[in-house]
Amino acid sequence: MSAVKVTDRISAVSILNPAMRIFDVVMKTEYGTSYNSYIVRGDEKAALIETSHVTFFSHYVEMIKQVCDPSEIEYIVLNHCEPDHSGSLRDLLDLCPNAKICVSRAGSIYLKGITNRDDLPLVIAKDGDSIDLGGATLKFIPAPFLHWPDSMFTYCEEERTVFTCDMLGSHYCEPYIYDTAVTYPAKYFEALKGYYDAIFGPFKPYVRAGLEKLSNLDYDFACTSHGPILTRDGKLNEVLRLYNEWSAQVQGEVDIPVFYCSAYGNTEKLAQAISRGILRAKPDAKSEAIDINSVEMSVLQARLNASTAFAVGSPTINSDAVAPVWELLSHVDAINSKKRPALVFGSYGWSGEAVGNITARLNGLRMSVFEDGLKVTFVPSDEDIKNAEELGFRFASSF
């Protein structure tokens, strides 16, 4: 791809990576991604906003050279220091001997760890600080946790453009850089939601704060760091509306799902009894026993992470809990699950490690695990079922 003009003074020098399928270890990127970067040219100075993934360095430098000589760049603005944006910085500094790096204070600390350099020419960008390029001003606006604590937006009032970094971005790649040129809008919006869930799902209050800050700016272009540039004539208003909807505070019902796996129906019986006890304590709550193997993992994950509290049960098979239970617990939103009440149970034959091992995992996530959990040998007796129901009742009465 070549450099593309966005406004009179702004050019995109973005790398397209349509082949990428996994980002940051955990995100599936069915439609690839792009590493967007921009050059703002004032009458006197030029600034580069974001750099690129280091893999693409030589191609990236070629594109920069289509816009200006790298030695003319006087500022490199890093709205966020994750290596998809900062990866090329180290090598780029050799080509931009005059460049100072504008980052938030948190970013300045991370950047030292990322580049292993103490001598970086840093400018700490504080709330409302700006740099004058001559006819174009860049103003810095903190946007913490969008996506890391260091994140900020950069606003160019004269060009009616805001650089939002990961916010409003998407792992979506077509051979064009504008939202108006997107050929498959349904796939784009699917990618937008996937990106939102993975990156911003845990940070809803910060998303609301970011949207509030954006609403105070006058702009026609949101230059994100992944996926298409958003424009007022294109998808910008719809993307903002969706972000508002997805990050809204919902006063949901009390939901206490009881997840389980069961080879011979024993742990299942305990799950049903526990759920009955929960509903006796909280008749208005939602609770049912859910066989982990019979529901899509993404649905289970969403239910667990939105729950008020939950119970999880596994038989002991070969000295441990079973794999589907571990998979579910690998999807816990650890940031927002601290102190979430949880109850552990399971049937076993002789050694019964499952309940202890699950409890250790939940304690590691800093959840609030209830009592010692419930372990029953083989087939639950009538008394075991009564105990399980009582335990469910005590559990749901405890929060």
Among 263, 299, 334, 360, binds ligand FMN (CB under 6 A): 263
Does 381 engage in binding with ligand FMN (CB under 6 A)?
Answer: no
Does 317 engage in binding with ligand FMN (CB under 6 A)?
Answer: yes
Residue 84 contacts which entry, Fe ion, ligand FMN, none (Cβ below 5-8 A, type-dependent): Fe ion
Partner residues linked to 259 by β-bridges: 290, 312
Q: Provide the minimum distance between the beta carbon of 345 and Fe ion in the complex, in angstroms, as a whole number.
A: 38
Among 128, 215, 318, 383, binds ligand FMN (CB under 6 A): 318
* For Fe ion, the closer CB: 82 or 384: 82
Does 36 engage in binding with ligand FMN (CB under 6 A)?
Answer: no
Structure tokens at 352: 């019964």
For tokens 């579910």, name the residue.
328
Does 267 engage in binding with ligand FMN (CB under 6 A)?
Answer: yes
Q: Provide the minimum distance between the beta carbon of 109 and ligand FMN in the complex, in angstroms, as a whole number.
A: 47
Does 140 engage in binding with ligand FMN (CB under 6 A)?
Answer: no
Does 293 engage in binding with ligand FMN (CB under 6 A)?
Answer: no
How far is the first Cα of the chain from the last one, in angstroms, to the nearest whole number? 56
* For ligand FMN, the closer CB: 184 or 378: 378
Residue 184 contacts which entry, ligand FMN, Fe ion, none (Cβ below 5-8 A, type-dependent): none
Q: Which residues contact 276 (CB under 8 A, 6 or more apart)?
A: 389, 392
Q: Provide the minimum distance between the beta carbon of 300 and ligand FMN in the complex, in angstroms, as a whole number.
A: 18
Does 88 engage in binding with ligand FMN (CB under 6 A)?
Answer: no
Residue 82 contacts which entry, ligand FMN, Fe ion, none (Cβ below 5-8 A, type-dependent): Fe ion
The answer to whether the CB of 352 falls within 8 A of the CB of 316 is yes
Does 348 engage in binding with ligand FMN (CB under 6 A)?
Answer: yes
The answer to whether the CB of 202 falls within 8 A of the CB of 331 is no
Size of the chain in residues: 399
Q: Which residues contact 326 (CB under 8 A, 6 or more apart)?
A: 361
Helix (H) or strand (E) holding 382: helix 382-397
Closest CA to 288 of 308, 273, 298: 273
Give the integer Cα–Cα distance in Å for 80 and 169.
13
Torsions phi, psi for 13 (to 5 deg): -125, 65
Residues in the site for ligand FMN, rule: CB under 6 A? 262-267, 315-319, 347-352, 378
